[in-house]
Homo-oligomer: A and B are copies of this chain.
Amino acid sequence: MMHKFSSYIKAFFCLFCILLYQYNSAQEHPSLILTKKGVAEIRANLGKFPLFDESVSNAKAQVDAEILNGIEVPIPKDYSGGYTHERHKKNFMMMQKAGLLYQILNQDKYAEYVKNMLFQYEKMYPTLPLHPQTRSYARGKFFWQALNDANWLVYTSQAYDCIYDYLSPVERKRLETNLFCPLADFISLENPKFFNRIHNHSTWANVAVGMIGLAMNNNKLIDRALYGMKNDGIKPGEKDNDGGLLKKPGQKAGFFANIEEPFSPDGYFTEGPYYQRYAMYPYIVFAEALQNKKPKLKVFDYKNGVLLKSLNTLLNLTDSDGKFFPLNDGQKGMSYYSRELVFSLDAAYLFGGKDSGLLSIAQKQGEVTLDDAGFAVAKAIHEGLATPLEKISVEYSDGPKGDQGGVGILRSKGSKEDLTLVMKYTAQGSSHGHYDKLSFSFYEGGNEVLQDYGLSRFVNIQQKGGGNYLKENKTWAKQSIAHNTITQNETSHFSGDYETGDQFHSEKYVFDASNPKLQVVSAKETNAYPGTELQRVLALIKEGSFENPFLLDIIKIKSKTNNQYDLPYYYFGQIVSTNFKYMSPQTLSPLGTKNGYQHLWKEGEGSQVDDNIKISWFNKDRFYSMTSVISNNDKLIFARIGANDPDFNLRNDPAIIIRKQDTKDTYFVSAIEIHGNYDPVTEIGTNTYSTIKKLDIIYQDENYASVRIENKDGESSNFIFAFNDADKYSQHQIKINEKDYKWTGPFTIINN
C-alpha cells in the first residue's frame, strides 16, 4: 500500500515536473527560431561546420559595420527606395541578426545594440503619426504601408526574443507597453482591412502580431494572430487600392485561414511564385516559432502539411537557374537565392523530415539561417548528406481544395539544357493575378524562349514610380494580349474585370508526363469569353530527327459568334527568316487603342497563301523556328512592345501574332523548335534550319483532332488528341484518310 502510495507520489511528482518544465520551456528565451537547447549545441560546435560559420561571419561583418556606423532611427518620410524606408528596413534586419549573434556568440555588444535601437523606437513610437505618404489603403507608421510595419515587427520579435533575458523586467515592460503592444494593435485592431483578410499582406500582419505575442507570451495576441478578429467592420464588396476584394462573405481570417485559402493541397499559392516567395517567410517563421512554443498545435501538419509541401512546390516553380516563373505579378530575376527561401528551406529541412535534396539547394544558396534549422542544414552538408534535387514534370492544382485549375510544368532533357514548359490554367490569383487563361512560357535552361512578361514595376527603384506598381502594370502587363494566349476581339479575358475573373478558373483536362518522349498538358477555359470555349493542348515531343524535343501547341476554339482571335508568341532575339511576304510600314502605329493593344507597335503585317508559315529567329547564339498551320484569311503581325509608353517603363520585346479574323470555330496549331548554334569565334552556324517540313491538321471533328508533323526527310508522325474524354483507359477509334486509328487514353502519337 505504502509502495503504491509512493508510486502515486512519484507519478504525481513526475507529472508536476513535466508541467513545470513545459511551463518553463514555454517561458524560456530564446524560443522562437532559436531555442535554448539549439543555442547550446550551436555554441558547442562553432568552427566545425563551414556553411554555418561563414553565415555567422557574414552576419557579424554586417552588424559590426552597423554598430560602428551608429544607430539611426529617422522620422519616417519616404516611399520604398527612399532613405527613411531603406533605413528602417535595414534596422529590423540588423536587429534580428544582432539578436541571433548575441545568442550564438554570447557577446553583450549585440544585445546592447538591439536594446539601444529598440529604445529609440520606443521613444519615437507613442507620438508618431501615420506615415506622411498617403498612397496605401493601410498606411503604416514607420513605413508608407502597414505591411512594412508588419515586416518590422516579425523581425524585431525575434530580436526581442533573443535579448529578452538580457533586459530587466522594467525595460521589458517599457518596450511592451510603449512599443510592441501598441504596434501589434495598430497592425490589427486599427487596420482591420489589412489584418483580417486573405492576402499575403494579412499573413504578414497575422504573423507580426503572433510573433510578438509568442515573444511576450501574450495569448490574446497569439489568438488574434491565429484566428483573426471577430469584428472587423469590413463592408461586403470593399476593395483595396489594387482593385482586390477585401473579403468574401463568410470568409474566416487569421493565420490558419491564410494557410487554408491561398494554398492548394499541392502547396501552390494562388498569387503565384513571386508572392509565394514573399509570403513564405512569415508562414514559416511563425510556424517554426509555434512548433517550438506551442507544439500541440502541430502547425506543420495543418492541411496535410501544406506549409512544408509548399516549399518544395516553390522550388519546382523555377527555371534551371532557380529563378521563379514570373506568373501573375512577378519580378523577373527573383529566385530561390532570396533570403525568404534560405530561411524556409532550412526550416523545411529541420521540420520536414530532413530531405537530403534540399541540402543541395542550400549548398547553392551558400548560406544558412543563424538558428536551429540553419545549424542542422550546415551540419548535414558538412557530413556529406546532400543529394541533387531533381526537378520534375508536375501539375500543381490551384484553389483551397485543389479544384480551381492549376499550373502544369513539363520538363524534358534538351541537347544543351533542360527544356521547361509552364502552362497556366489557374484561378484569378487574387489581386496580383493576370488575365492570361491557358497562357504558357517556355524555357531552355535559365533562358526564356517564349516569355511571360511578368509585372510592370521596378521594385524599390525610386525613380520608377517610387518603386511601386507602374500604371503599365494594369494597362499592359495584366492584359491578355501581353501573354502567349488567345485574345478575342481585342478584349482581355473577363473583359479585364477582377470581380468577374475572380469567380472563375480554368479546368484541368490532361496532365501526363509518364512518357518522357511525349508529355502532354491540356486545359479548358469556358468563362474568359462567354459563348466561346477554349481548349489548349501543349505537348513536348521528343523525336529522333529533332535536335531537341519540340513543342506542339494546339488551341481549339468553339464559339457561338464570329470573332477575331489573336495569338501572340513573345520571343526574344532577331528574325532570321520567314517564308511569307509582309509589308513593313514606313511609320509605326500602335496595334490598337486599348486592353494592352495600345502598347504594341505594329512592325509588319503579312499573310500567306500556303497553309504553313515558318518564322525563324536567332538569340544568344541559338536558333528557333515556329511552324504554324495558317488559312488564307489569317494575318501574321510582327509587333514590339513600347507604344504609348512615355516614361519608357516597358521593355521593347518583340512578338509574332497570328490573327484569325471573322471566325467562329477554329484551331491554332503551331510547332516550336529550338535548334542549332552560332559560334561568333569560329563563325560557324550549325543546324540553323527548322527540321519541320510540313505541319497539317489531317483530321478534325467535335471530339478529335490529328496533327501531322512531317520532317525534312519526309518522315512524319500523327499526334491525335481527344478533346472530350480525358479518361486514360478510354478506347478511341477514328478513321483518317481511310485508315483506322485505335488508341487508349486521351492522346497518342503514331509514326508513319
Asked if A49 is an interface residue, CB under 8 A from chain B, the answer is no
A47 lies within 8 A of chain B by Cβ: no
- A460 and B588 alpha carbons, distance in the complex (Å): 31
Distance between Cα atoms of A678 and B462 in the complex (Å): 12
* A 313-347 binary contact with B (CB < 8 Å = 1; else 0): 00000000000000000011111011100000000
Query: Which segment, of A356-364, A488-496, A573-581, faces chain B?
Result: A573-581
Known contacts A462-B688, A681-B334; A588 and B616 CB within 8 A of each other: no
Q: How far is the CA of A588 from the CA of B590 in the complex (A)?
A: 9
Residue contact B576 to A588, C-beta cutoff 8 Å: no
Cβ–Cβ contact A337 & B681, under 8 A: yes
Q: How close is A460's CB to chain B, nearest CB, in angstroms?
A: 5
Task: Kindly identify, within residues 677 to 703 of chain A, every residue whose CB is under 8 Å from any CB belonging to chain B.
Answer: 678, 680-685, 688-689
Contact between A461 and B648, CB atoms less than 8 A apart: no
Chain B min CB distance to A427 (Å): 26
**8 Å CB interface, A642-672 against B:** 642, 644-648, 651-652, 654
| In the assembled complex, A442 has its CB within 8 A of some CB on chain B | no
In the complex the two chains form, is A601's CB within 8 Å of B576's CB? no
Q: In the assembly, what is the distance between CA of A464 and CA of B339, in Å? A: 46
Q: Is A752 an interface residue (CB 8 A)?
A: no
Contact present for B680 and A652 (CB under 8 Å): no
- In the assembled complex, the Cα of A654 lies from the Cα of B650 at a distance in Å of 13
Q: Report the separation of the CA atoms of residues A646 and B586 in the bound assembly, to the nearest whole angstrom.
A: 10
Give the bracket for the number of chain A residues in contact with chain B: 35 or more
0/1 interface trace, chain A 452-465, chain B, CB 8 Å (1 if under): 00000011111110
Q: Nearest chain B CB to A710's CB is how many angstroms away?
A: 21
Assembled-state Cα–Cα distance A459/B461 (Å): 40
Q: Name the residue of chain B whose CB is nearest to the CB of A333.
A: B680
Contact residues of A between 562 and 597, Cβ < 8 Å to B: 574-577, 584, 586-590
Of the residues B338, B574, B590, B688, contact of A586 by C-beta under 8 Å: B590
Question: Residue A268 at the B interface, CB < 8 A?
Answer: no
Q: Are A576 and B338 in contact (CB under 8 A)?
A: no
Complex contacts, A337 vs chain B, CB 8 Å: 681
A81 in contact (CB, < 8 A): yes
A338: which B residues are within 8 A, CB to CB?
Answer: 681-682
A485 to B641, CA, bound (A): 29
Contact check, B334 vs A460: say whether CB atoms are below 8 A apart: no
Say yes or no for A88: interface residue by CB 8 A criterion.
no
Chain B residues whose C-beta falls within 8 Å of the C-beta of A575 in the assembled complex: 647-648
**If the complex has contacts A584-B645, A640-B652, are A576 and B680 also in contact, measured as CB distance less than 8 A?**
no
Q: Are B688 and A463 in contact (CB under 8 A)?
A: yes
A588: chain B residues within 8 A (beta carbon) = 587-588, 601
Residues B618 and A461 in contact, CB atoms below 8 Å apart:
yes
Decide: A331 near B680, CB < 8 A? Known: A575-B648, A648-B575, A651-B574: yes
Q: B86, B335, B574, B678: which contacts A648 (Cβ < 8 A)?
A: B574
Q: What are 7 inter-chain pairs, A to B, with CB distance below 8 A?
A: A334-B680, A338-B681, A461-B618, A463-B688, A574-B651, A604-B646, A638-B648
Q: A331-B683, A587-B587 known; 20 other A-B pairs, CB under 8 Å? A: A81-B685, A86-B684, A334-B683, A335-B680, A335-B681, A338-B681, A458-B618, A458-B678, A461-B576, A461-B618, A462-B685, A463-B576, A463-B616, A463-B689, A575-B647, A575-B648, A587-B588, A587-B590, A652-B652, A652-B654
